């Protein structure tokens, strides 16, 4: 009898083992997300310090709309800021929303970041007036859109609850996608948000179709 019971239980993990694995996965994911976001924030600040120290103005490498040579700014703009005040305003929401976006997997986070940067940058390049656009706010709005909608596309209850919480805490961000704030690129905000939703849809976890008996 005991041999039979052992053979039946062996293939699967007990409920206690499953809980431990989930806790370990959660802790590991949180630690990895924290490290990646810390590196991202440090990179943002390092670039601004270099820009402050060097005689050359790095801000010129931001996005210059409608100019072919301004397309390269799509990659550089999220790491450039118009002074430390601008950077400080972006740092806290970038760290919080970036951490939440990275919790569900660093691979997906990197791909989501690339999608957000490209969509936000192209939107700015296409519809913004002449000038130079820079700053990490496109990423901030993108991570917001990604975290809020990811659970809906994945149909994951924990992510849905997290998205609701983020929407409740940062709902005021929505006003940033509207025109009317002088010196603020609403285009970067709007297309960053769109990029976040596109990333959540593109990177959703597809459920396997149930096997037919």
Quick check: 198 and 146 in contact, CB under 8 A?
no
How do residues 121-166 score in pLDDT, each as one tens digit? 999 999 999 999 999 999 999 999 999 999 888 887 888 888 888 8
**Angle between helix 137-154 and helix 157-169 axes, rounded to 10 deg:** 140
Q: Which tokens in the block code for residue 5?
A: 């019971």
Q: How crowded is residue 84: how many other Cβ atoms within 10 Å of its Cβ?
A: 14
How do residues 39-75 score in pLDDT, each as one tens digit? 999 999 999 999 999 988 898 999 999 999 889 999 9
**Secondary structure (3-state) at 134:** coil
Q: Can you tell me the mean pLDDT for 162-191?
A: 84
Class of CATH domain 11-202? mainly alpha
Q: What is d(CA 109, CA 51) in angstroms, rounded to the nearest whole number?
A: 27
Predicted TM-score (pTM) of this structure = 0.84
How do residues 59-115 score in pLDDT, each as one tens digit? 899 999 999 988 999 999 999 999 999 999 999 999 999 999 998 888 899 999 999
**pLDDT over 90 percentage in the chain:** 54
Q: What is d(CA 38, CA 44) in angstroms, rounded to the nearest whole number?
A: 10
**Angle between helix 137-154 and helix 186-202 axes, rounded to 10 deg:** 30
């Amino acid at each position: 009898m005991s041999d039979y019971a052992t053979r039946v239980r062996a293939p699967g993990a007990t409920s206690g083992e499953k809980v431990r694995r989930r806790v370990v996965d959660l802790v590991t994911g949180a630690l990895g997300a924290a490290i990646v976001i810390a590196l991202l924030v440090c990179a943002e600040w390092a670039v601004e310090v270099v820009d402050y120290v060097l005689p050359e103005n790095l801000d010129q490498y931001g996005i210059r709309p409608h100019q072919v040579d301004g397309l390269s700014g799509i990659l550089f703009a999220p790491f450039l800021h118009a002074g430390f005040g601008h950077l400080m305003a972006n740092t806290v929401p970038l760290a919080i929303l970036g951490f939440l976006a990275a919790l569900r997997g660093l691979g997906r986070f990197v791909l989501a970041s690339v999608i957000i940067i490209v969509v936000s940058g192209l939107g700015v390049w296409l519809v913004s007036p002449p000038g130079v656009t820079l700053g990490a706010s496109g990423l901030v709005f993108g991570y917001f859109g990604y975290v809020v909608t990811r659970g809906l596309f994945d149909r994951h209850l924990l992510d849905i609850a997290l998205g609701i919480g983020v929407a409740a805490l940062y709902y005021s961000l929505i006003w940033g996608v509207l025109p009317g704030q002088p010196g603020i690129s609403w285009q970067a905000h709007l297309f960053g948000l769109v990029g976040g939703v596109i990333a959540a849809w593109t990177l959703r976890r597809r459920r396997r179709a149930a096997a037919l008996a």
